[in-house]
Chain A
């Protein structure tokens, strides 16, 4: 068990990185508290796996330090970091039985066989693998194999952190949900820090207490699912999380209030323009806009019924805005007026929040 600190970590896969794009990880300062359930969320190629491999020691960062509690482990090999990692594609030792697979990390560390047996039984019970302990691992289905990968991590009692690199990619949809709730359960039972890498926001938001959102080698926001939803620090977060993503409306600041094509929006407080100026945008989630008798005049373009709610696409001055409406709420015919929830209206300058 340990707190994990990344200090000014940068990594590049190139010999001599020059431009900012050469860095797979740009300057990271992060603290993962002990016992937390974290999700690392971001689009493919944003550096999630690189970050994971830096923590697990499979990669040595070009610059910066990795600390477990106060111990500097930057140069320490993976097998001495007491970490566990579950990969995207299940890794099992094909020729071994399920039991031997689970026992492998312990036997490599010369744990007495009696203790191995007890530990393996315990983990098999947690993962519901008792029935197949004697079977050859190669005969299992993808989700069974992924459980073994996970089990090889859990079996060690001294494990500092368990990392998951998109572990549900090859799992059937109906089993995904099962395995995900199993993970959540395990986190509560074992209490180890868990870091879950994914590009699927549902997976991230259901698994984690804290979500770390990454974008092109940088961490853009760390927060609870609610924070990410209501107050995205960066327009990327607003856009990436939520379905549909946050509406972004170009605006000007007039008397401290954002103005969209001459229509003034209310914000919780007066907005001070940033020193350098920059491109101003209003960000508001489709969930926080509704139709009203008065407000921003729009034309209704399209209504999509997606089951539990409806998504309404409207336009003002050919600028698209989306609304999420409850199933039973009335929608005006061709034209209507929009009202924006004042507390949920954010203003961004050059992509970063300023309210």
Chain B
């Protein structure tokens, strides 16, 4: 009996709420169905007179209905409120540029260097460093480039004044020059003096060549050197690591081509090319229709270099390779003038 009454109130209320049109109507509605003097409240008040079983049963029902009516009332309140809000009047032009906080740009060489470092460190290479102002010994003698050897002509050197007197010098000549390193290779010997194989390292860093600058030549360059030494590291291993690296770096499958070359610190020595990153080797203007791009130099570490570093001759074998970051960056981003790189020009820097 009571149950039906409750359900009846519910049906009536839910029917009624649909016709509420304004706040006054809603006030009336709430007063009628939820107010202190409403029939429904009266029922709830009377629950205490019922038997415990009925009280539980009816109570649950009454509370559920009350909740349902309150929710319907709340929903109506929101509906009335939202209807009064003129969203259209707030329309804005969303094509007006946003307000930015601005952010800075890393230099292109930093970006390229990181990409390279990340690939190599993922392969377990350690990053090694060495001085940019270097002793003649580490830059040349220890790398098997003898004094007065024409190979020293291959790399035009910035020398510093004056010559230093170094009684501890390992060269026959006790007076030794200091210079701006012409490559990152001196770090090979410096690292090997302190570490025993097996190891694999990379050496990113600044190097200097005393040559006039033009669109493709810069006297200040950034090199990248890798050195892997162990018991049986071989030419095939070099090819594999080079392929893996360049494929990852350029994001496409590339091949490596080795050509004979001469660097005193390696034997055998190579020049290495990668298949053209644009045409994949078929030939196009980027690779001058050769299908290959010249990237850098490499080779199997000359045993004399191991000896300079204090290893026993023929105890180890390994490979070393190096290339220029500028060249790689220019290849990747199609930059046509190397001088932009150290120009400090924000019109250039902000493009990357």
Q: Do A and B come from one complex?
A: no
